[in-house]
Amino acid sequence: MFLWGTATAAYQIEGAAHEDGRGASIWDTFAHQPGRTRDGHTGDVACDHYHRWPEDLELMSGLGVNAYRFSIAWPRIQPDGSGGVNPKGLDFYDRLVDGLGERGITPVPTLFHWDLPQALEDRGGWLDRDTAYRFADYAAVVADRLADRVKMWITLNEPFVHMVFGYAMGLHAPGHALMLDALPVAHHQLLGHGLAVRALREAGAEQVLITNNCTPVWAEDAAAGDAYDALHNRLFNDPVLLGRYPDLSAYGVTLDCVRDGDLEIISTPLDGLGINYYNPTRIGAPTDDSLPWTDLGVNGYPTTAFGWPVVPDGLRELLVGLRDRYGAALPPIYITENGCSYPEQDDQARIAFLDGHLAALRATQDEGVDVRGYFVWSLLDNFEWAEGYHQRFGLVHVDFPTGRRTPRASYHWLKDHLSRTAGGDPAHP
């Protein structure tokens, strides 16, 4: 069965930041620091999904999707990031999973979508190797409760983005600006992933994935393009799929934190690879000594409200490139995020975006790439990280002061599309 779904993330929609024993996350801390988010917005309330989840599940049911990718808030489960378990946190996701099952929607939880418990950050966060082991413990706790009904799991969401924005550039929580000194975050996240895969399987999980944000690299300079590709794409795919890190010599650094046996753990076989696609990246030769490449920006294409270029065929280019690079080592692919932000009054652009990317998905399958799912980002307008509530990605408009949900024209367009595919393969609508 092809998975048609929508995607969300806990801190972006749940709210209830101080209810039922939930601990603080790095995003609670970061968003309350002056100047960190646009207009000082926080996820304290967000979409109030914690209380309104039945309504949101009805929206999914009405849309006609057969899967829902959400994330579990680690601080709800273990308020201090380790040790004691908060039963009310597990109860919430228990109710959510049962509600999905009652509506015939496959639950696809992500265990980490950037909301690290603040208590772990205080001990070093993902710069500290021990966090990888705490992540595996947390995965075991959640799976022990839910694996009887949850068959597909995702360990990490976009470890590249979390490393770069959160630890290298300081644009996201936890707000460190370490540049290349942030590279241990990559290894510790991947080690945590590998350990969690094993913990999930021991608890009865049938399918386990990781979700990586990947981009086609349009290189104006071959060496610069290779260096960028190594950092953005291969740093997080090669260890998982091939059991080795790419050549990072262009950066003048080595991953001294890698220990014997780590790569064997990281490359524990997977059942699928989640890919989040938004746009290509055009790379040129470096202009200074800070990095071995320059981001030139992609010109000549329409852009979203975020300023991101809309290049539907980039999805096909990316997935065919992954197939050609990894061959038999590449597991089935699930598009775990693809979507766009547009002003609330302009939904025809969102419809055109979805139509173009679904056509690219069909073309990808025609080229023989094994793609088994597509999740739209996002079901709801939400707290869009450092942008606060200014960027609207939702198929459903949310009036944040009241929480009122209103399906957009794109929701109805996708509903019609899904009714014509009858839940089947996108290559055969």
> For residue 154, what are the β-bridge partners?
110, 209
Locate 270 and state its tokens: 């997977």
Using CA of residue 27, residue 32, residue 35, residue 39, what is the dihedral sign?
positive
- Segment (H or E) for 244: none
Among candidate residues 14, 158, 317, 384, the one labeled active-site is 158
- Segment (H or E) for 158: none
Alpha-carbon distance of 369 to 254, in angstroms, equals 34
337 catalytic residue (yes or no): yes
The DSSP code sequence of 171-238 is SSTT----GGGGHHHHHHHHHHHHHHHHHHHHTT-SEEEEEEE---EEESSHHHHHHHHIIIIIHHHH
Locate 265 and state its tokens: 């753990």
- Segment (H or E) for 398: strand 396-399
Strands 207-213 and 152-157, sheet pairing: parallel
Half-sphere exposure (Cβ direction) of 318: Cα atoms closer than 13 Å: 32
Alpha-carbon distance of 136 to 189, in angstroms, equals 11
Among candidate residues 337, 344, 367, 384, the one labeled active-site is 337
Alpha-carbon distance of 285 to 291, in angstroms, equals 10
Backbone angles phi, psi at 345, to 5 degrees: -85, -5
Strands 272-276 and 281-284, sheet pairing: unpaired
Alpha-carbon distance of 392 to 404, in angstroms, equals 14
Running DSSP on this structure, what letter comes out for residue 24?
P
Rounded to whole angstroms, the maximal C-alpha distance in the chain is 57
Contact 373, 67 (CB under 8 A): yes
Alpha-carbon distance of 82 to 292, in angstroms, equals 39
The residue assigned the tokens 């938004």 is 278
Tell me which amino acid residue 246 is: P
The residue assigned the tokens 């953005």 is 232
- Point out the residues that are catalytic: 158, 337
